[in-house]
Structure 1
Amino acid sequence: MEIISVHEAERPRPGRPHQSMQIVEDRLMKKERKSTEEKLLLAARRLFCRAGIHATGITRILEEAGVARASLYAHYGSKENLLKAVFDTEANMWFHWFDLDLPHLKCSPRERILALFDLLEKWFAKEDFFGCVFINAVAEHEKDSRWVKDVAGAYRDQIIDRLRTLVGESGATDPDMVTQKLGLLIEGAIVTAMVTQNSHAAYIARLAAEDVLRCMECAPHRARC
């Protein structure tokens, strides 16, 4: 039986690709594909929020991303699919907040709710903040553009459900009403920050949220705050 040393086994054999080299090449190709997708996604999100979805053509997205036209169709197939991917990215930011960032805070559910407004303030302060893509898309599209409203609405429902869970953990006697109030504060802060370009809107909304939570504590006594 032929004995092959470890070094011989690691050396590439004539006529056969080296396995480890193939793995490296596969990883590089995967990284390159991911990089191209990310460039398109980030460019599309910036432009959709900053300039508008209808006003942003494919050519402008390609110029902003610095990639070839074929790349867009290879990864997304169409501008509509790219918009859906932007929706996914926006939703994942919110899911990350509710599923990872807030649960890791060592504080009460009430304080976690208020911490959400701190996350909003950091988001508003970013240079590439031009509002929420869901709100912008629904406001920009015609009333008969059902798919935009359906997708944006479905994601909004998932985000509100997470907020309702957090409110329920805080001991609210009427979690649905408290959630609706907080939802209005969050969405109002987003629009205000977009219009004024001032992240301070999140702080004002946080103060209002404190009032809502304070009223929540008064609710069992039917007190009006």
Structure 2
Amino acid sequence: MTKTARKSPEEKLLLAARRLFCRAGIHATGITRILEEAGVARGSLYMHYGSKENLLKAVLDTEANMWFHWFDQDLPALKCSSQERILALFDLLEKWFAKEDFFGCIFVNAVAEHEKDSGWVRDMAGTYRDQIIDRLKALVVESGARDPDVVIQKLGLIIEGAIITAMVTQSSQAAHIARLAAEDVLRCTECSPSLGKEST
């Protein structure tokens, strides 16, 4: 019988903070609540993270790494065209939306709760967003789109809209609709005239 690996206090804190920050809000979640959710002592938080702010930074890092894993490992592993990899991203989104602990994107939530004009939260979210968009753009360029910059803007809006819709509706159906919209965008750019059509 395989035993499930026990999570370290550091991992427990990170998982608890990620859930609470998205579900209840960053400002509404105090250190005491995080400790209760994680089931660890207060000293563990200060030992591993030092402060609530550093814990939030770690949560943002974790969210970004999820996206990087999709683009750097999951999508490249698929034996299909670049257009199909772009569409496969929406399948990954659908699985994410269907998780019990999905309460939206921590980047969007964090920026919404903090100063909009400046600040480390906005800067960090913007930097990670740019890195994610660069990875998506590489796929779009590889697909042969006529105007990759415009395609990227359209796909970006579709993806971000799907995340917000899934959070509000608490339904993974948003990813399916977003995938259909992405198919239309790719078809209109003449990446693949037959994209989305069933073979006869």
**Shared fold (TM-score, shorter chain, > 0.5):** yes
Corresponding residue of 2:189: 216
* Deviation digits for residues 129-154 of structure 1 (CA, Å, limit 9, x no counterpart): 00000011111113255111000110
* Deviation digits for residues 112-170 of structure 1 (CA, Å, limit 9, x no counterpart): 00000000000000000000000111111132551110001100100000000011110
Measured in 1, the distance between the counterparts of 2:92 and 2:68 equals 13
Stretches of 4+ moved more than 6 A in 1?
none
Corresponding residue of 2:27: 54
Corresponding residue of 2:129: 156
Amino acid at match of 1:199: S
SS at match of 1:217: coil
Corresponding residue of 2:87: 114
Whether 1:182 and 2:187 are equivalent positions in the alignment is no
Q: 2:60 aligns with which of 57, 80, 87?
A: 87
> Shift of residue 173 of structure 1?
1.6
Measured in 2, the distance between the counterparts of 1:211 and 1:131 equals 25
More displaced 10-residue stretch of structure 1: 170-179 or 122-131: 170-179
TM-score, structure 1 length as denominator?
A: 0.81
Whether 1:35 and 2:8 are equivalent positions in the alignment is yes
Measured in 2, the distance between the counterparts of 1:115 and 1:128 equals 22
Measured in 2, the distance between the counterparts of 1:169 and 1:143 equals 35
RMSD, aligned α-carbons: 1.5
Amino acid at match of 1:90: E
Q: Which structure is richer in relative contact order (CA contacts within 8 A, separation 6 or more)?
A: 2
Measured in 2, the distance between the counterparts of 1:149 and 1:162 equals 20
Corresponding residue of 1:199: 172
Measured in 1, the distance between the counterparts of 2:85 and 2:189 equals 15
Whether 1:77 and 2:50 are equivalent positions in the alignment is yes
SS at match of 1:106: coil
Corresponding residue of 1:68: 41
